[in-house]
A and B are shown apart, each in its own frame.
Chain A
Amino acid sequence: MTNSLRNRITILCVGLVLLTTMVSLFSFWWSTSKFQEEKVNQDITVAQNVYKQYLKSKESLLLTAAKVLTSDFGFKQAVATRDAGTISSVLFNHSQRIDAELMLLLDLSGRLISANTDEDAFAHNLKPLMEELLSAPEESSFVVLNNELYQIILLPVRAPRTVAYSLVGFKIDDNVANELKSLTGMDVSFIGSADDIVISSLANRPEPFEPVNYFNTVTTSRFLGEYSVYRNRDINLPSLLTHPIIILLSADLTQSYSDFEKLLFTLIILAILTMFVGVITSSLFANNLTTPLTQLAVIARQFAQGNYTFEFKGQKQTTEIATLVAAFDSMGNDINQREQQISFQARHDSLTGFYNRSAMLEVLDDELDISAEYTLVAIDIKGLRHINDKLGPRIGDDCLKAVACRISEFSDELGGFHARIGGDEFLTVFPTAAAREQKSGIVGLMAQLQACYTIQTLKINLRFSAGIVQYPTQGIASDDLMRRVLIAVESAANTQESIHYYQNGEDEAHLERLIMLDELKQAISDDDGQLFMTYQPKLHMKTQKIDKVESLIRWQRKDGSWVNPELFIDLAEQSGLIVELTGWVVNTVVAQVADWQSKNINLQAAINVSAQDIAFPGFHAALVRTLKKYKVDPKLITIELTERDMIENEEKGIKALENLKAIGVKISLDDYGVGQTSLGRLKMLPIDELKLDKCFILKLDESQKDQFIVQSSITLGHQLGFSVVAEGVETIGSLNLLRGMQCDHAQGYYLSRPLKAELLEEWLEEYYEKN
């Protein structure tokens, strides 16, 4: 909060206002103080001049009065003739006229001749005073006489030579001081320190009253502290050398203090007002600035949530904000557009424009109405991989496009929708009712799809498998539907049907197989004894010796239940796990053979492999590596392949078998006689051994026909250079027949069921003991 733009702006503005105010306040303070100081000094100077002028005029008055007196012919005559009575009355009369309190007449030696008042008070010798006054003739002096302060002047009485001196004086008392104060407003004190006399205009005097001390020390308590009340200046008055008189001017500063404080308070109030206005305006300004920013932040959050439409509130934005808003607007539009593009790409297959698998799951959840019935059809293009391999992926893609086109034509008509759910798999969903109205239905769809395609001038026929699931009876959740329709199409593909209708329970079986597959995978990687090999001995007819075994895998789960080898091998083949499983088998068997070798038991072991194993590029190398690892002679290992495995991908298969043969292992053709192996093909196969299917051997001693087939097959095998093995020998009769037919090896329950390695070794010992 404290870090917000608004606060910063406000703080900045207030800070500036505060700084400005403080500076102006300080400068005001400084200049006003200075001004006040100067003004007071000036006032005092003015007052000083006024007082000087006042005293000067008093002096002039004195002088005039004294001159008038001393120049009066009658007075002169009286003085010259020492007419005491006349002199005294003249002095009195004259003093009344000019309002002079003091008028004395002194003779040349300083003795008092006459006075206007009580003569006795001035009886003492006035000569020193007179002499000092005479040294500055015609100037007034301030003198204390008879404990009173007088401004006096001494003038000679000339007739025409000086015959006497006349001393005229005005009394200086508090009234005079008050009169002076009224002229300038300043307190006036006359101080004669030597005579201990004080005359002051100050009304309320403390006891004892010492003006210099008082005026210099008295303070007043103001708002900002203690200040001197008076600014003082003392002026020396003309006086006697040993009796100095000073006049002390004291300017009362109280008024100027209170004026200054008033100004100061006014200024402080103004400053506070300015600050207040500053805060308000700056917060308004900040608000003006931050409101759109806040709004933009809200809009940005809306953008984050995927809402790209906004309305910007507020008028009269600054150009910068307006630009920003416009930029937000265009950004929102651009992001929206791109998002739509990305989400379309995320939900759709780029080749066909159909929904992809994950999008289809959502679509199914959203679109399917529980109250209506829908048909889900998964369509798998058979052999698309061959087209890709042979004609190139571009043709393959074009085929996909063409198929997609036909699917969409069909489902669009019915108001359905469609998706590409795998490399060569499509899913179309349409309302069942609509399909029922169209008589053709699913069969029509298949016919439509299977019609000849013209791809870049090539005419191509495609075959399809279709799996069908009904909604809602066979599933409601989209992922259930998807899985079941895939199971159905897989079943169709596996069973060579073109259409497979999903049956309830298939999903669970599929699920069980998946679980089993998972367990098998775990069993292979753990190699904890769940999987193990059994070996069924093969009897060499001529030597009556057991020189070969067929290794057969067995799986006993941890819970002790047995799993049918056909089931889990089939599962492994379908899931591609067979490669791994065969790898485990090869490793186990080769190790076993090596073990036997070390025990001096010479047995050749046959390993069943599937077409996938042969096609797996690493198989050959892994086999060689294993043989080397256990130092087993390749001749001791026989690879058994069924007819069907042999046929699939013939050319590559033959090549791989030839490579295996090259390292020295034997190749055996398993289950001969029940498959589709033509004799022409048989002669091309790089095999060492024919293994007659047990269906011919099981009842050989009862069936004449089987005897013919077996006899001729053995003869054919021998003539083609193969050795022949008969499996499924269960009776002594069959064995004897086979011996008669010169069959090379016999295998079956008559001899032994498949046994674990240790049991086989025991069996072998028993066998050789019997024979």
Chain B
Amino acid sequence: MFERALQKFAKRHCFLAIGLFFSQFALSANIELVIEDQHGQKLSGAVVELNVADKQATPSNLPTAIMDQVHKQFLPELLVVQQGQKVNFPNSDNIRHHVYSFSQAKPFQLRLYSGQPKEPITFEQQGVVVLGCNIHDSMVGYIYVASSESVYKTDKKGYVSLPINILPAQVSVWHPLQTAPLENKKIITINSQKKLQITVNTSTPAPRNTFGSKFKAGND
């Protein structure tokens, strides 16, 4: 138990460390973006990637990211990794999961397991990977495999601050609930340093029912 708590603490630190790392780059010139949905609702958890043509991260330097499964949910729901980064899928529930992905970026399966899988999975291609659990239909998770290091997520208020040196700059915006096909990213060209507002159409996913509800009496 103690060991597990320690582990969580370690993960938080890791994220913090990454965040600090990015913010240091952004200090030179920061452009603020606000991401909203079609109703003017600020979207948190939107991914904004700064498209830099020649910048390649070395995979060896990258830490192994963790996509945990807690209370039959992926944690975090959205994990942003670098191309070539490894992700570990520990199972923190005391039941088994069968994690899979049919996404073109990385189709894989981790057949029924509990605890730590044998080895982490490396995401070589950039793109979006949708994670599911074959046993628990309600579990959905996303791994955003970024091609560049300059990748950011909006905060709870839908804000993101981009450190941009050269204008015009091109950014791609993506959100898990976007109505456009999941692989598609919205390409935005930033021409000024002004605060920019970007709208992404989203759809609210229907609650995931189980079979049982249809058999209940009076269901008409």
By a beta-carbon cutoff of 8 Å, the part of chain A in contact with chain B is: 52, 56, 59-60, 63-64, 67, 71, 73, 76-77, 80-81, 108, 137-138, 158-161, 163
Given A63-B214, A64-B214, A77-B102 in contact, is the A158-B132 Cβ separation under 8 Å? yes
Please state if A159 and B102 are interface contacts (CB–CB under 8 Å).
yes
Give chain B residues whose Cβ lies under 8 Å from the Cβ of A108. 181
A-B contact pairs, 22 of them (CB 8 A): A52-B220, A56-B219, A56-B220, A67-B211, A71-B137, A73-B100, A76-B102, A77-B102, A81-B102, A81-B107, A108-B181, A138-B209, A138-B214, A158-B137, A159-B102, A159-B132, A160-B130, A160-B131, A160-B137, A160-B139, A161-B130, A161-B182
The 5 closest A-B pairs by CB, nearest first: A160-B132, A80-B102, A63-B214, A160-B140, A159-B102
Please state if A160 and B209 are interface contacts (CB–CB under 8 Å).
no
Give chain B residues whose Cβ lies under 8 Å from the Cβ of A137. 206
Task: Provide the bound-state CA to CA distance between A76 and B98, in Å.
Answer: 14
Give chain A residues whose Cβ lies under 8 Å from the Cβ of B172. none
Please state if B132 and A60 are interface contacts (CB–CB under 8 Å).
no
B146 contacts A by Cβ under 8 Å: no
B134 contacts A by Cβ under 8 Å: yes
Task: Provide the bound-state CA to CA distance between A477 and B211, in Å.
Answer: 139
B215 contacts A by Cβ under 8 Å: yes
Task: Provide the bound-state CA to CA distance between A52 and B100, in Å.
Answer: 40
Give chain B residues whose Cβ lies under 8 Å from the Cβ of A56. 219-220
Given A56-B220, A161-B140 in contact, is the A73-B214 Cβ separation under 8 Å? no
Most interface-central of A60, A80, A160 (chain B CB within 10 A): A160
B133 contacts A by Cβ under 8 Å: yes
Task: Provide the bound-state CA to CA distance between A138 and B181, in Å.
Answer: 23
Give chain B residues whose Cβ lies under 8 Å from the Cβ of A81. 102, 107
Please state if B220 and A73 are interface contacts (CB–CB under 8 Å).
no
Please state if B215 and A60 are interface contacts (CB–CB under 8 Å).
yes
CB distance from B175 to the nearest CB of A (A): 13
CB distance from A293 to the nearest CB of B (A): 79
- Find the B residue at minimum CB distance from A160: B132
Task: Provide the bound-state CA to CA distance between A160 and B206, in Å.
Answer: 13
- Find the B residue at minimum CB distance from A63: B214
Given A73-B134, A76-B102, A160-B130 in contact, is the A60-B214 Cβ separation under 8 Å? yes
Task: Provide the bound-state CA to CA distance between A45 and B23, in Å.
Answer: 71
By a beta-carbon cutoff of 8 Å, the part of chain B in contact with chain A is: 100, 102, 107, 130-134, 137, 139-140, 181-182, 206, 209, 211, 214-215, 219-220
- Find the B residue at minimum CB distance from A163: B102
Since A56-B219, A67-B211, A161-B132 are in contact, a sample of 6 more A-B pairs with Cβ atoms closer than 8 Å, ordered by chain A residue number, is: A56-B220, A59-B214, A81-B102, A138-B209, A160-B130, A160-B133
Please state if A64 and B220 are interface contacts (CB–CB under 8 Å).
no
> What does DSSP make chain B's interface, helix, strand, loop or mixed?
loop
Task: Provide the bound-state CA to CA distance between A77 and B220, in Å.
Answer: 33
Task: Provide the bound-state CA to CA distance between A77 and B134, in Å.
Answer: 11
> What does DSSP make chain A's interface, helix, strand, loop or mixed?
helix
Task: Provide the bound-state CA to CA distance between A81 and B104, in Å.
Answer: 9
Give chain A residues whose Cβ lies under 8 Å from the Cβ of B181. 108
CB distance from A104 to the nearest CB of B (A): 20
Task: Provide the bound-state CA to CA distance between A681 and B134, in Å.
Answer: 188
Give chain B residues whose Cβ lies under 8 Å from the Cβ of A163. 102
Give chain B residues whose Cβ lies under 8 Å from the Cβ of A52. 220
Task: Provide the bound-state CA to CA distance between A64 and B213, in Å.
Answer: 11
Most interface-central of A59, A159, A161 (chain B CB within 10 A): A161
CB distance from B124 to the nearest CB of A (A): 19
Give chain A residues whose Cβ lies under 8 Å from the Cβ of B140. 160-161
Give chain B residues whose Cβ lies under 8 Å from the Cβ of A60. 214-215
Task: Provide the bound-state CA to CA distance between A52 and B217, in Å.
Answer: 12
- Find the A residue at minimum CB distance from B132: A160
Please state if A64 and B211 are interface contacts (CB–CB under 8 Å).
yes
Task: Provide the bound-state CA to CA distance between A52 and B132, in Å.
Answer: 37
Give chain B residues whose Cβ lies under 8 Å from the Cβ of A80. 102
Task: Provide the bound-state CA to CA distance between A63 and B219, in Å.
Answer: 13
Give chain A residues whose Cβ lies under 8 Å from the Cβ of B133. 160
Give chain A residues whose Cβ lies under 8 Å from the Cβ of B215. 60
- Find the B residue at minimum CB distance from A71: B137
CB distance from B139 to the nearest CB of A (A): 7
CB distance from A77 to the nearest CB of B (A): 6
Give chain A residues whose Cβ lies under 8 Å from the Cβ of B219. 56
CB distance from A155 to the nearest CB of B (A): 11
Task: Provide the bound-state CA to CA distance between A108 and B183, in Å.
Answer: 14
Give chain B residues whose Cβ lies under 8 Å from the Cβ of A64. 211, 214
CB distance from A594 to the nearest CB of B (A): 147
- Find the B residue at minimum CB distance from A140: B214
CB distance from A51 to the nearest CB of B (A): 12
Give chain A residues whose Cβ lies under 8 Å from the Cβ of B206. 137
Give chain A residues whose Cβ lies under 8 Å from the Cβ of B211. 63-64, 67
- Find the B residue at minimum CB distance from A78: B102
Give chain A residues whose Cβ lies under 8 Å from the Cβ of B102. 76-77, 80-81, 159, 163
- Find the B residue at minimum CB distance from A238: B220
CB distance from B52 to the nearest CB of A (A): 29
Task: Provide the bound-state CA to CA distance between A64 and B139, in Å.
Answer: 21
- Find the A residue at minimum CB distance from B182: A161
Task: Provide the bound-state CA to CA distance between A662 and B115, in Å.
Answer: 191
CB distance from A133 to the nearest CB of B (A): 13
Give chain A residues whose Cβ lies under 8 Å from the Cβ of B220. 52, 56
CB distance from B138 to the nearest CB of A (A): 8
Task: Provide the bound-state CA to CA distance between A403 and B195, in Å.
Answer: 178
Task: Provide the bound-state CA to CA distance between A64 and B214, in Å.
Answer: 9
CB distance from A690 to the nearest CB of B (A): 162
CB distance from B102 to the nearest CB of A (A): 3
Give chain A residues whose Cβ lies under 8 Å from the Cβ of B209. 138
CB distance from B55 to the nearest CB of A (A): 30
Give chain A residues whose Cβ lies under 8 Å from the Cβ of B182. 161
Give chain B residues whose Cβ lies under 8 Å from the Cβ of A67. 211
Give chain A residues whose Cβ lies under 8 Å from the Cβ of B132. 158-161
Task: Provide the bound-state CA to CA distance between A137 and B130, in Å.
Answer: 23
CB distance from A58 to the nearest CB of B (A): 12
